[in-house]
Amino acid sequence: MLFNYRIHTFALFAALCCASFSCAHLCAQSLSTQATTRIRLAVVGDFMCHDSQVSAALQKDGSYDYTACYAHIAPLIAKADFAFGNLETVLAGKAQKYTGYPAFNSPDSYAVAIKQAGFDALTTANNHSFDRGYIGIKRTLTVLDSLGIPHTGTTDSQQERSKPLVVNVHGVNVGIIAYTYGLNGGALSGQNRTTVNIVDTTAIRTDIQYLQELPQAERPDIILASLHWGAEYQLQPSPEQRKFADWLFRAGVHALLGAHPHVVQTVENKSVVRVMEGRLDTLQRPAIYSMGNFISGQRTKPRETGVVVWLEIEKSASGGAKIVSLGYTPTYIDKRRNDEGRTEYRVLNVPQAVKEADQNPTLYPANITKRLREILNDIAKQFATQNNSFRLVE
């Protein structure tokens, strides 16, 4: 996945053709194709860990194992060149006691399972970032660093805010900025005021400017904004959120990827006209206001649903990059008894699960099969836009 560069045999064929004058036209055409890079990003909402999930992960030897949570969805995530989501818990250590809501603290193995499932980075700015105070902030980042998981949104520095994240994905630089509307328990005090990125137009402008002024080799081709915001359990974004999305796009953001409401909200695909490579081009600016819970212990409909958002980005030989394709995959958090009789949470790829149910009607309980079909239809409505920008990814 990340930093896993691919070698195409087509490039070798093009090079051989260059040796022949008769193949000159084909050679030029091949090199042009070779120089255009396309990557596929997968983005999800909140990774939560409620008390029921902590209990389900507890093993007989006292350890915690979350790998089963992602067994069904992992093959889908593997199709992405780069995948990330929002870590809505902290890893403050066993001494702080593992708990869910209202003050989250999860075992380190929770992050291990996320990485093993194929996720390459995490944003850490949300209303639960400071649930265990500064020790929670600091230790969470230490664990993520030890696992090689890049992150942005919080920092253990008490002098400066978290820097935006820039990752190179097969030659395309992707910039990620992350903020939360606020924190449970109120504003950060004194010495900790820099540890969590709070939504602020001045801070966002500063971060975008920082990215745009990086050396050419590090400067992002695309900037993604991860926002933890919005009214909980509301299926529509507010007028204020829509206005703020417009502001973000004017400021230089290419895609808005939101979470926090615990449900999937209606999306928009806004169009902006920009000069690209010397000519006017209409560019896509997707506003994904809330992707819902990727995994959690919440069972009330529709909180047990979420979505994987897909962005395909194309970078031309001259260096210009743009979003060329958008997609979505509905997900469902299944709570079941496994073969050992233990409670198990797992994220289902809904289109795949529906196919499996069609082929084997006894694979899932009848009520689950019915719910999967409902989710497929409900999420399709949330992702319906005027120009049908988003396609279903199975």
pLDDT at 272: 79
- Give the domain ranges of the chain: 1-35, 38-348+384-392
| Alpha helices, H only, 87-155 | 108-116, 133-146
Maximum separation of any 2 CA atoms in the chain, in Å: 72
* Confidence check: pLDDT of 191 > 90: no
pTM for the whole structure: 0.89
Cα Rg, the chain, nearest whole Å:
22
Average pLDDT over residues 136-165: 97
Separation CA 380–CA 394 (nearest Å): 13
Element (H, E) at 303: none
**Burial zone of 152 (CB within 10 Å; 0-12 exposed, 13-18 middle, 19+ buried):** buried
Q: What is the pLDDT of residues 292-312, one digit of tens each?
A: 999 999 999 999 999 999 999
The answer to whether 301 and 332 are in contact (CB under 8 A) is no
DSSP 212-250: HTS-TTTS-SEEEEEEE-S-TT-SS--HHHHHHHHHHHH
Query: Residue 282: what pLDDT?
Result: 76
CATH T-level fold of 38-348+384-392 = Purple Acid Phosphatase; chain A, domain 2 (3.60.21)
CA dist 168 → 5, 299, 318 (Å): 11, 37, 17
Q: How many CB atoms lie within 10 A of CB 68?
A: 15
Does the bond joining 102 to the residue before it have cis omega, within 30 degrees of 0?
yes
pLDDT tens sequence across 32-59? 345 899 999 999 999 999 999 999 999 9
pLDDT at 277: 63
Residues forming beta bridges with residue 280, ordered by sequence position: 275
What was the pLDDT predicted at 3? 34
The span from the CA of 349 to the CA of 77, in Å, is 10
For residue 200, give every residue at least 6 positions away whose Cβ sits within 8 Å of its Cβ, in sequence order, or none: 179
Q: What is the pLDDT of residues 301-357, one digit of tens each?
A: 999 999 999 999 999 988 889 999 999 999 999 999 988 889 999 999 999 999 999
Residue 106 to residues 198, 207, 239, 298: CA-CA distances in angstroms? 23, 30, 35, 16
334 vs 295: CA distance, rounded Å: 9
Q: Residue 271: what pLDDT?
A: 81
Which pLDDT tens digit goes with each residue over 2-20? Answer: 333 333 333 333 333 333 3
